[in-house]
Amino acid sequence: MRIRQALVAFCAAIAMVVAGPSYASALDSPYQRGPDPTEASVKAIAGPFAVDQVKATGHTGFGSGTIFYPKDEKGTFGTIAVSPGFISPEGLVHWYAKTLASHGFVVMAMGTFTVADPPPSRGDQLRAALDYMKTKSPVKDKVDPTRLGLSGHSMGGGGTLDAASKMPDLKAAVPLAPWYLTGGPVIPKVKAPTLVVGANIDFVAPMAIFATPFYKALTSPNKALLTLPGDHMTPFLLANPTLTKFAVSWFKRFLDDDTRYDQFLCPNPASYEGTCPLT
């Protein structure tokens, strides 16, 4: 019996060594929040954290904002600013911002000065939104200023890439159907882990012109390209479990250093291209 127990213990120890960095880093990450993720949980529009919200006030660097954050939770969280696209008000990205917050992030759905603001202007406003959240917002005590991320749809996706190119310490970016006609020279300057998301029948920002070349031009060692079924609007502006799965997993992995989410990103799932293993 003792020999058998010793063999079981030895095998368990070997398994932990083989699992190696991934197992250890998941346990060692001080930012790990929430229960162990499952395929169902990462697709949930309402994640494990109750969410509250507050309007952004007293700001000058962006048009408007609503901040969604985990309610009644202690400590700080990774923080994300999200921009809508061309001719789109802040409210169109509320579902997305609230969903991300419910998985354990502080997230601003940002409105632009005008709905026609081009990508560079949106990028400047996204950077101002992050600065506001960590220095002046009503929830600044919940913000970890070292763990910042960006996302945005259409011209907001272009703005995400523009802002990311000017933020060498940014932890993660998720541009959605990015539109940025003059973005070519900007993309190689993006150093943050970046998940580019496109749609296969998008005739406004066709993947062949925008998302795919942007992905290929990225120089970050951690990058991915996700193709969703649908047009320029529907997969991004309506609650979408597939988008939720990958956006949540990307931000969890790179804002929280939570390797429990690697399983949803590597090996590459269908309709997804990326650099594996993640580092």
Q: Which residues are catalytic?
A: 154, 202, 232
DSSP state of 37: P
Q: Which residue has the tokens 């939104």?
A: 129
DSSP state of 136: T
DSSP state of 185: T
Closest to 203 (Cα-Cα) out of 231, 235, 181, 236: 231
Residues 6+ apart with CB under 8 A from 124: 61, 162, 163
DSSP string computed for 255-277: HS--GGGGGGTSS--TTEEE-SS
Q: Is the peptide bond before 35 cis (omega within 30 degrees of 0)?
A: no
